[in-house]
Structure 1
Amino acid sequence: MVGSVHDAEDLTQETYLRAWKARERYDEQRASVRTWLYRIATNVCLTALEGRPRRPLPSGLGTASDDPGAPLIPDFEVPWLQPLPERYLSADRDDPQARLAARAGVRLALVAAMQVLPPRQRAVLVLRDVLGFSAAEVAGQLDTTTASVTSALQRARAAVATASPSEDGLREPAAGPTIERYVRAFEASDVDTLVTLLTADAVLEMPPVPLWYRGRADYGRFMARVFAMRPGAWRVLSTTANGQPALTAYCPDDGGGHRLHTLQVLTVTAAGIAHTVVFQDPKVFAAFELAPSL
């Protein structure tokens, strides 16, 4: 809903606080505890989002750059979308399909697309398609009609339909070999191999720098610049974010070790890596509890 791990933490605390204060008014004949809590959480989120700007990625703010030498100037005035650490995703689901559905509901591209929606449409989409509530239950949570929920859901689905590859196009868990080859190429600063692992129109973006690139050629030219700026052997560790493959990149430092450089969230399709979002924000590093050096 809010696109920020830190905001979500605060709003979760507020949800439990409101629930505790209202506990004597809870009626188990009217709703389950789960439905009741999500109603409170939804209202907390809607209140928090009033008058608040959306959290974008660079690709949501303007056209792609074709200049690999453009200045890398971060813009911390923009409330950038944040990735989600794996620890926030339930790991105790016995059903593989349920686990896949849970991860599909928090894909980075999907969350980015949600930020464009009006808050109530965003809430309907999350409650219906991610959390699996019925239209009648959502209508009760939002104090509206079932017809209104159905209409809002249709509009929301249409708005995010092109946000990311279809689930049929995503490679899970077959992304492993592609990621392994990408890691080896990255550690060796091997741009030629990197670009062979990309789709033709692959996107590279890097909040908080408001720059982004599209296509193998510009992606490769920018990576050549990065490796020229940080020559030597890199270290790359595999992790996950938003239920997707992710990498933690450490660049060589002057003392012979490696220091934290970026967290990279990858979208891997059957055709290759289609999207890489590179985060270089201290708040993101803290949320993922990343070691500052190796």
Structure 2
Amino acid sequence: MGVSANANTGAFLLFFIAAILLALSTTCTALNITKSLAPYSDYSTLSDLFRKTKLTDAINRRQTITILALDNSSIQSITDRSSDELRKILMNHIILDYYDRQKIQKLGKKSALLTTLYQTTGSAINQQGFVNITRIARGEVVFGSAVKGAPLVGKLLGSVISQPFNLSVLHISTPIVAPGIGDAILAPPPPPGSSKPPAAAPKKSPSSPGPSEEEEDEDEAESPSPSESPAESPKAGKAKAKSRSESPPEPDSDEDDDAEEPTSSASSRVVWLRVGVAAVIGLIASLVAF
């Protein structure tokens, strides 16, 4: 009996200790978003809006969460919305998973759909409760509503809080308003002069001397003058030869004319020579007869 009582007592003590440790661990990992954002004055408006829309308790009940945070300047574009609309918009900035810069980098150049707190309400339709995250280039990540056709407006600007794997606060540029909830807030245009200037021409290295006058003269002497026609390429010559062989031969009228000219001139000279000889003979005959 004594051994059984001691065993029961030991089991009870172990259970009690385990319950205390579990309670302590839960207390240590419990979120307090108001306390977490308190050191960051740039997000005081966001913290106040969480409290006014009664989202603070909903956030603190979660053990793992990511907040797409808007600073005091960016969040002003939605502060004039109705309380119900503002609550829905802010719920879409609360991701029910942990995402920090390292985890986002593992996405590669891909897109992913992230579940938000608004999805848990049962009021979301057409993927209003999801956020699209897309890594479009190295170091460039954007967020937007997962509703088809919605723009990706929230550019990732940096990480505010990173407490693996409980709380991550990421700074984004523009509020995300899902279609059907309210009027979208478009990303502001880039400031003037933000486009990259054209690349400057490479400067000559001082260690590499420029071409000497003699080298320039040689280059000028070797380079063909504009009046000279370029040499015919072997391919062009072959093409011409091939075209000649394939097409029927044409009469060379120029060559025939040239060949006939010396014949006609020679015959005319013979005729005049004969006429001259006949004239001389006749003259001599007339003289003799006289």
- Using the size of structure 1 for normalisation, the TM-score is 0.19
Greater relative CO, 1 or 2 (CA 8 Å, sep 6+): 1
Larger radius of gyration: 2
Superposition TM-score, scaled by structure 2 size: 0.19
